[in-house]
Structure 1
Amino acid sequence: MRKVVITGTPPADWVAEADAITAELRAAPDEPSRKLVLDEHDGFWRDERIRDWLLEQFSNKCWYTEAEDSISPIHVDHFRPKGRVTNLDKSRESGYWWLSFNWKNYVIAGHLINSKKGDLFPILKGETRATPNCPEAQLKLEGAVLIDPLTDQTRLISYDRDDDGCIAVLAGGIDEIEKFKAEKTIEILGLNRLDKLNQKRGKKWDECLAEIEDYNGARAHGAQALVWLMKERAIVNLKKKVKYEAEFSSIAEACIRKKAPEPVIAAVFER
């Protein structure tokens, strides 16, 4: 996965309206009253002002898969479910209703990924789920199992080629808790269940592999100037594939780091 980097701030008018709705929600005396507020403002998170701003943050890609909408329509998802929460053992708890209109709890997600996730949001064994009175900063300490695409934990999931396409796999060198989080994130989101997605990722992997092979095979062309030209062209093309805005840039990065010679890795990811 690739970390989504938020730049700038959402439209101020949308945020002001969202804050007012949240204040109304928090002031509601009981759950039925909160439901009335939620029903009245249902879909406010799909308002074009916030949706378009969120889409811009990751070049119109799903934050979980890096796929554009050719895989499935794009939704604004609540990372922490607003209505109810389902644990891994299928038990249920109250959702994060107070985050319903908090843009920091929103994720751009493809419909098929979002529908698979549903209201699943387990936390690690022994950890305590956040409550409405917890400071927002405490959410980071909650011990969520699902990997947040806004965090560096996205590094826990890599990719590899198989016979049918390219699948999400565990990154190397991670500890047992990190393995658990990565495994469950792949399972909860169904990152490997969509054939079309796997095939599109596989195409990206193969494109990168072809560039790597061009780099490796360049010396067979004899003339030194031509050799250098082919090597440089391969590196330029690989750099384009790992750009933040490129579709499946994390697949390109995984392929390069796993299949390319060290000089190519150094050149592509030079700082």
Structure 2
Amino acid sequence: MRVINLDQLEEVFDSLNGNRKGSFDTWLEKAEKCLEEIRSMSKEDRSTYWSRNNIWRELYPALSKLSGHKCWYSEAPENSSEWEIDHYRPKAESRSEEGTIVREDGYWWLSYKWENFRLAGSLVNKLRKDRFDSNGEVYGKGSFFPLETEDIAQPEDEDCNCERPLLIDPIKPRDVTLISFDKNGDPFPTYNENESKFYHKKAMLSIKYYGLDHKPLSRGRRKIWANCEMVVKKAHNYIKNNINDPVRRDEKIDECFLQLSKYSRYTEPYSMIVRNFVKEKLKDKEYSWLKEVERVLV
């Protein structure tokens, strides 16, 4: 997972609509009208209305471009599953980590607020079982939205500052650092419980509810790790065996840095795995030459 700059949505939306200034403003007007119409509705009527007026789908191309056409949660490429616009705070109802209902009517007042939209693959957004795993556990975000405290935002509170969500939000820079990956492509919390109980739990629940340990996702990350390993191994071998050729040595390092930089582009699948790879390699002093690459990872 990498941070998404949602503030660029208006600019991207307008550019995809022929660079017509005000295109996004027109969508906002429609959204505000829809929100006004559902304010006095019952939960059941809202559900029917949403299915007929899901105008958030019009933002799909722009939301997709913001992430380089990848799922915001898993970094899986666009062709890996069906795509959906997830309401980060669920619009119909919200549930705790135990599955009990927290808000029976959900965050309905955010259902047409673009700030609450996230692009997700159906494997992340929908409840399902991992067909590659025999334990039968259910994965997927669904309506789960666990909170650390009992404070719950009330209708019309657009900021929801009283809440402390236990799910990582890809538009928050610090949040996306809370999950790391190993050489097998498997996710794990960046912080252990002793370092930060809150961050550890947030990572664990996000891995579970976003299905980030889904086997195909791990395989995809493992492939990128292996590619990084091959590039670095080739450069390292030259460095060790040609210490009297500093010019060619620097050329090999440059080639290595360039390739790692390419793997880390926001348009590349599972690009955050590159940072984890470099972090792990730097634990070995032999690879100290690799430290400077952190400056060029994008």
Letter in 1 for 2:295: F
Matched, 1:66 2:75: yes
Structure 2 unaligned segments of length 5 or more: list them: 14-23, 127-139
Indicate whether 1:16 and 2:29 are aligned: yes
Residue 101 (1) aligns with residue 108 (2)? no
The residue number in structure 2 matching 1:3 is 3
Query: Helix, strand or coil for the counterpart of 2:272?
Result: helix
Q: Taking structure 1 as reference, are residues 187 and 225 closer, same or farther at Cα in structure 2, changes over 3 Å only?
A: same
The answer to whether the 8 A contact 1:238-1:268 is kept is no
Residue deviations 1:105-164 (CA, integer Å, cap 9, x gap): 11111111111111111111x331111132x22x244111111111121111111123xx
1:113 alignment partner in structure 2: 124
Q: Report the TM-score, using the length of structure 1 for normalisation.
A: 0.88
Candidates 182, 187, 210, aligned match of 2:203: 182
2:166 match: 145
Match in the other structure for 1:53 = 62
Alpha-carbon separation, structure 1, partners of 2:169 and 2:110: 15
Residue 165 (structure 2) pairs with residue 154 (structure 1)? no
1:209 and 2:229 are equivalent in the alignment: yes
Quick one: which amino acid aligns to residue 221 of structure 2?
Answer: R
User: How many residues are paired up?
Assistant: 260
Closer/same/farther in 2, CA of residues 190 and 36 from structure 1, 3 Å limit: closer
Return the alpha-carbon distance in structure 1 between the equivalents of residues 292 and 161 of structure 2: 33
The CA distance in 2 between the partners of 1:172 and 1:85, in whole Å, is: 27
Separation in structure 2 between the aligned mates of residue 29 and residue 238 of structure 1, nearest angstrom: 53
TM-score with structure 2 length normalisation? 0.81
1:104 Cα offset (Å): 0.9
Distance in 2 of aligned mates of 1:231 and 1:143? 44
Q: Indicate if the aligned counterparts of 2:152 and 2:162 stay in contact, CA closer than 8 A.
A: no
Asked if the contact 1:129/1:142 (under 8 Å) is kept, the reply is: yes
Q: 1:57 to 1:155 in 2, by over 3 A?
A: same
Identity %: 26
Aligned mate of 1:250, from 250, 272, 287? 272
CA distance in 2, matches of 1:34, 1:64: 27
Provide closer, same or farther for how the CA distance between residues 253 and 45 of structure 1 changes in structure 2, counting only shifts above 3 A: same
Q: Deviations over 1:147-182 (max 9, x none)?
A: 1111121111111123xxx11111147411110110
How far does the alpha carbon of each residue in 1:20-66 deviate from its partner, in whole angstroms, 9 at most, with x for none?
1112222x15445544543441x32222xx11111111111100011
